A and B are shown apart, each in its own frame.
Chain A
Amino acid sequence: MSGKTKLLRMFFLSLFVIGLLIGGSSADAAESVVKVGFLGPITGSDAAEGAAARNAFTLAISEANKSGEFPFKIEVIEVDDQGTENVAVAGAQEIVSDSDIVAASGFWNSGPAAAAIPVFKEAEIPLLIWGAIRESLTNKENVPYITRSAPTDKQENIPLAIKVLDEMGYRDWFIVSDVSSYGDGNLNAFKAELAARKITPIGEEQVPEDTTDLNAVVQKVKASGAKAVYCGSTVAIGSQLKRQLNDGGVRDILYCGISGMKTEDFLKIGAEPAEGTLVVSPGIILEDTTEGSNFINLYNSQGYSEPIGAFTPYAYEAALILIKSMRACEGKPTAEAMTRAILDSKTTGIMGTTTFNEIGQTENVAAYLNVVQDGKWVPLDKSEYSQGGKRAFGGK
Chain B
Amino acid sequence: MTIERKFKIGKPILEVKNISLSFGGVKAITDTSFDVLEHEVRAIIGPNGAGKSSMLNCINGIYKPQQGTVSFKGKEIPNITPNLMAQMGLSRTFQNLALFKRMSVLDNILVGRKLHTKTNFLEVAFQLPKVKKEEKINRERSEEIISFLEIEDIKDTPVGKLPYGLQKKVELGRALATDSSVILLDEPMAGMNVEEKRDMCRFILKVNDELGTTMVLIEHDMGVVMDISDRVVVLDYGKVIGDGTPDEVRSNQKVIDAYLGVEH
B is a partner of A: no
Identify the B interface with A (CB < 8 A). none
